[in-house]
Amino acid sequence: MEKEKITILGATGSIGKNALDVIAMHPERFEVEAITGGNNIELLISLAQQYRPKYVAIANEDYYNQLKEACNHSDIQVFAGQKGLKEVAHIPVDRTVAAISGISGLGVLMEAIPFCNYLLLASKEALITAWPIIKQEANKYQTQILPIDSEHNSLFQLMQTDMLPDNWIEKIILTASGGPFYGHNYEDLSNVTPAQACRHPNWSMGAKISLDSATLMNKGLEIVEAAYFFNVSPKKLDILVHKQSVVHAMLYYCNGNIKAGLNYPDMRIPIAYCLHYPQCVEEHQLPRLDLAEIGELHFEQVDYTCFPSPKLMFNAIEQGRHAVIVANAANEITTHAFLDLKIGFHDIYKINEKITDIIAAQFTVNDCQSIESVLDIDTYSKMRTNKLLQQY
Ligand code: NDP
Ligand code: MG
C-alpha cells in the first residue's frame, strides 16, 4: 500500500503534536510531508528532526535562518512567513490537518483545500467565521472535510450510520466538561488566575482553548461549529455539563431514541478516526474506556449565571455570521488580555458581549461573503475591543 502523505498546519500545537503521535504509530501507512509552526522554533526544529518531513515552514520570519541552519544537512526544504506557509499549503497531499489556533489559521486553510483530498479540521475559529466559504471551496475541489473537535467528531460518526432527514432529529446535545471552575459561584471566580483557568481537568490543550473551556465560551463556539457543519438549527442544539468527558455528543431522535458517542477523553482518538477515514483501523496504543470502572455517568444543566458565554454564541447564530465573527474576534482579544493579566475572568464575557452588541449591528450577513471581508470585520472588531480594553 502506498503511504499517505500528511501535512500538519500548526504542528507545534497540542492538536498538531497529537496528530504526529498518531502518525508515528502507523509508519507503514503515513508519511509526514510538511509541518508548520508559528513562533515555537525550538519545537519545530525538533519535530523536523524527528519526523523528517520534506517541507517545513515557520510563520515568524525572524526564525528563518535558524530553521534553515538546523535543516542544512538534510533534504528538508525550509519556508517562512505567510508566503512560506502558503507555499507549503500548496504541496499536494492526501490529508491536511488544519490546527492553527484562532482566525489566523483561516487564510492558509483556504489555500490548502484545493491540494488535499481530506481536510482534517480542528481550527474552530476559522470554521465558524467562514464556514460557507470553506465549504464552497471544498465542494469545488471535492475535498472532504472531517471534524477533529471531539464533540463534532462523535456527531459525525453518529450521523454516518443513517441518512438522517432533518425532521428525524429532535435535539443534538454537546457535552461540556465545565472546565476547572464548574460548581464555583460567581464571586469565587472574580480573582482566578490564568494558571488556574488553563488547568483543564480532563484535556491538555493550548492556552486559548483551555481558557475558552473555563469560561464555557468553547462550548459556545462549538454550538456554532455544530450548527454550521451539520446544518442544523440552533434551536435543536443544547449543552449538558458532563464533567467526565466520556460522552461527547448525543443525538435525540423524534421517536424517543438516543444515540451517544463515547470514548476515552484523548484527542488522539478523533484524530486517528480522521486520519484513517473511511477505514476503521485498530489502534493498539490508544486508551480504551472502561465503563465498569467508571460506574456512573453524570450530567447536569449549564449554570448560565456563572457561565453566560454560550448564550452569547446562541444569540450570535440567530443574528447571523457577521455577529459570530465579531464575538469570536472580541473573544480572541479578551482571552489574551486575561492571560496577560490585563482583565479579570468575568471581564472576558462582559467585553465580548458589549463589543458584539455594538459592532455586530454595524454589519449584515452580506458583509462577510468573502475571506477578505471576514478578515476585515475581524480586524475592525479586534481594534474596537482593544480600544475598549484601554478603559480597564
Ligand atoms: P495550540 O495553541 O496548542 O497550538 C496552536 C498552533 O497554531 C501552534 O502550532 C502555533 O504555533 C500555531 N499558530 C498560532 N498562531 C499562528 C499564526 N498566526 N500563524 C501560524 N501558526 C500559528 O492550540 P491547540 O492545538 O490546542 O488548538 C488548535 C486549534 O484546534 C484551535 O482552533 C482549537 O480550538 C482547536 N481544537 C483544539 C483541541 C485540543 O484538544 N487542543 C480540541 C478541539 C479543537 P506556535 O506554537 O509555534 O507559535
Ligand atoms: Mg471540543
At residue 376, the pLDDT reads 98
pLDDT digits (tens, 9 = 90+) for 288-309: 999 999 999 999 999 999 999 9
Start-end of H helices in the chain:
14-24, 41-51, 64-70, 81-89, 106-112, 124-141, 150-160, 194-197, 207-215, 217-229, 268-276, 291-294, 309-319, 321-339, 345-360, 371-389
At residue 271, the pLDDT reads 98
At residue 163, the pLDDT reads 63
Give kind and range of the element (H or E) at residue 258.
Answer: strand 258-262
Q: What is the mean pLDDT of residues 72-84?
A: 96
pLDDT digits (tens, 9 = 90+) for 13-66: 999 999 999 999 999 999 999 999 999 999 999 999 999 999 999 999 999 999
Give distance in angstroms: CA of 332 to centre of ligand 1.
13
Mean pLDDT of the chain: 96
Phi, psi for residue 264 in degrees, rounded to 5: -60, 140
Residue 11 is which amino acid? A
Q: Which residues form the pocket of ligand 1, taking CB atoms under 6 Å from any ligand atom?
A: 10-16, 37-40, 59, 99-102, 104, 122-125, 149, 203, 205-206, 209, 267
Decide which of 8 and 168 is more confident.
Answer: 8
Q: What is the mean pLDDT of residues 359-385?
A: 98
CA distance 264 to 244: 9
pLDDT of 363 above 80 = yes
- Copy the grid coordinates of residue 110: 483556504
At residue 204, the pLDDT reads 84
Query: Closest Cα to residue 94, out of 233, 226, 274, 287?
Result: 274
Q: Residue 204 CA: which ligand is closest?
A: 1
Give distance in angstroms: CA of 86 to centre of ligand 1.
17
Q: How many CA atoms lie within 13 A of 248 on its CB side?
A: 25
At residue 71, the pLDDT reads 95
What does the chain come to in residues? 392
CA distance 255 to 243: 28
What is the pTM assigned to this prediction?
0.97
Neighbouring residues of 384: CB distance < 8 A, sequence distance ≥ 6: 355, 358, 359
Q: Which numbered atom of ligand 1 lies nearest the CA of 16?
A: 25
pLDDT digits (tens, 9 = 90+) for 224-282: 999 999 999 999 999 999 999 999 999 999 999 999 999 999 999 999 999 999 999 99
At residue 331, the pLDDT reads 98
Give distance in angstroms: CA of 105 to centre of ligand 1.
8
pLDDT of 78 above 80 = yes
pLDDT digits (tens, 9 = 90+) for 132-188: 999 999 999 999 999 999 999 999 999 986 566 778 899 999 999 999 999 999 999
CA distance 159 to 250: 10
Give distance in angstroms: CA of 101 to centre of ligand 1.
3
At residue 123, the pLDDT reads 98
Give distance in angstroms: CA of 59 to centre of ligand 1.
13
Confidence of residue 374 (pLDDT cuts 50, 70, 90): very high
Q: What is the mean pLDDT of residues 70-81?
A: 96
Peptide linkage before 265 cis (omega within 30 of 0): no
At residue 161, the pLDDT reads 65
pLDDT digits (tens, 9 = 90+) for 187-221: 999 999 999 999 988 888 899 999 999 999 999 99
Q: Which numbered atom of ligand 1 lies nearest the CA of 41?
A: 47
The sign of the dihedral angle between the CA atoms of 161, 156, 158, 261 is positive
pLDDT digits (tens, 9 = 90+) for 312-346: 999 999 999 999 999 999 999 999 999 999 999 99
